[in-house]
Amino acid sequence: MPDFTSLKTVAVGEAMVELAPVGDGQYRRGFAGDTFNTAWHMAQALLGRATVGFATRVGQDRISDAFVAEAQADGLDTSVIQRDPVRSMGLYMIQLDGVERSFHYWRDSSAARGLAADAGALARAFAGAGLIHLSGITLAILPADDRDRLFTALAQARAEGARVSFDPNIRPRLWASLDEVRRVVPQALALTDIALPSFDDEVAVWGDADPQATIARLAAAGVAECAVKDGAGPITVWADGAIRRIATPPVQGIRDTTGAGDSFNAGYLAARLLEQPPDQAVAAGQRFSGIVIQHFGARLPSAMVPVLA
C-alpha cells in the first residue's frame, strides 16, 4: 500500500479549451486535458476530503479567467495555476467516427508549455503534497530544460515524502521522435511510484508482448505499483507484491470514448488515497471510465461523478 504523507494531490499538465460534439453538427465548449480530467474527477469523487490542485499555466484573458473560475467552483485548488501575460490556452476539437474519437489540436503557443519554467512555482505547488500526478503529455509539451526542471522538482518532492503517479499516455505527434520518447519516459519512471499505462502505447513504443511484460519492465525501472489499461480488456494490476487480472465490465450505450483512461486514473488514485485495496481501486477506475464513455466529452457533469465511500 502506498504510504501517502497527506491527502493533498497535485496534477501537473495542460488544460485546453475543448470543443466536444453533441450531435447534429453542434459542439459544446468545455475545458479538458488528460491530467486535468484526472484531477477534476478526483476532486468530485473525494468531495472535500482531500485538496486536489491542478498545476498549469494559462493566460490572462477572459477564456483563461473562465477556466480558473470553473475549476475553483468545482472544488479544485487553483492557487497552483500560473498566469502568462502573453500566451493563452490551447484548443482541441473532438471528431467522432461512431463512438471512437480523433482530435484536431491548436496548441503550439499554449501557455501550458511554460508551466515548468519557474522552479519556485513548482516547489510551491508541490509543497506538502502526498500525491503528484503527471503524464507523457505533460512531458511532451515542455522544452527540454523545463522538463529537467520538472524532474528536479519531482525528485525533491519525493524526498520530502510525496508519491508520484505517471500515465505515459504517448502521443507521438507531440514528440520529436520515438527515440526521444524512449529517452525521456525512463527518466520519469525513475521518479514514479504508481504507473498507469495503456497497453497499446506500451506495445507501440516498447514492443511489450503482454501486460505482464509491461509490468516487468516498469518494475525493473523502480516502479512500485502498476495498473495496465487495455481498452475493454482486463486491467492487469501489480500492487502489494501480487499481479491480478481484473475483467472490465461491459458498458452499454457508449457515446464517446474520450477521457476513458483519464477517468480510470481518477477512480484508481482516489481509491488508493483512501487506503482502499487494489481490487477496489481498479473497480472504482472501471466505474468512472464506464460512466464517462456514455457521455460526450472528456468530463462528466459534476453531479454524475461517483463519490467514493
Per-residue pLDDT tens digits for 104-138 = 899 999 999 999 999 999 999 999 999 999 999 99
CA of residue 222 relative to chain centroid, distance: 20
For 134, phi then psi, to 5°, come to -145, 175
Per-residue pLDDT tens digits for 266-296 = 999 999 999 999 999 999 999 999 999 998 8
What average pLDDT does the chain have?
95
Per-residue pLDDT tens digits for 61-112 = 999 999 999 999 999 999 999 999 999 999 999 887 776 678 889 999 999 9
H/E segment holding residue 66: helix 62-73
**C-alpha cell of residue 270:** 482516489
CA of residue 223 relative to chain centroid, distance: 17
Q: Would you state the pLDDT for residue 99?
A: 64
| Domain 10-302 CATH class label | alpha beta
Among all chains, which residue has been given the C-alpha cell 502526498? 130
| Active-site residue, from 208, 230, 256, 262 | 262
Q: 46 with 74: CB under 8 angstroms?
A: no
Measured CA to CA, the distance from residue 288 to residue 248 in angstroms comes to: 12
pTM over 0.85: yes
Q: Would you state the pLDDT for residue 296?
A: 81
Q: Would you state the pLDDT for residue 5?
A: 95
Q: Would you state the pLDDT for residue 25?
A: 84
**2 pLDDT tier (thresholds 50, 70, 90):** confident
Q: Quick one: 142 exposed, middle or buried, by C-beta within 10 A (0-12, 13-18, 19+)? A: buried
Per-residue pLDDT tens digits for 154-169 = 999 999 999 999 999 9
DSSP-derived secondary structure letter, 80: G
Q: Where are the domains of the chain?
A: 10-302
The answer to whether residue 201 is catalytic is no
13-27, 133-147, 201-215, range with the lowest pLDDT: 13-27
Residues sharing a CB contact under 8 Å with residue 242, sequence separation 6 or more, in sequence order: none
Measured CA to CA, the distance from residue 67 to residue 60 in angstroms comes to: 11
Strands (E), 190-298: 194-195, 225-228, 235-239, 242-246
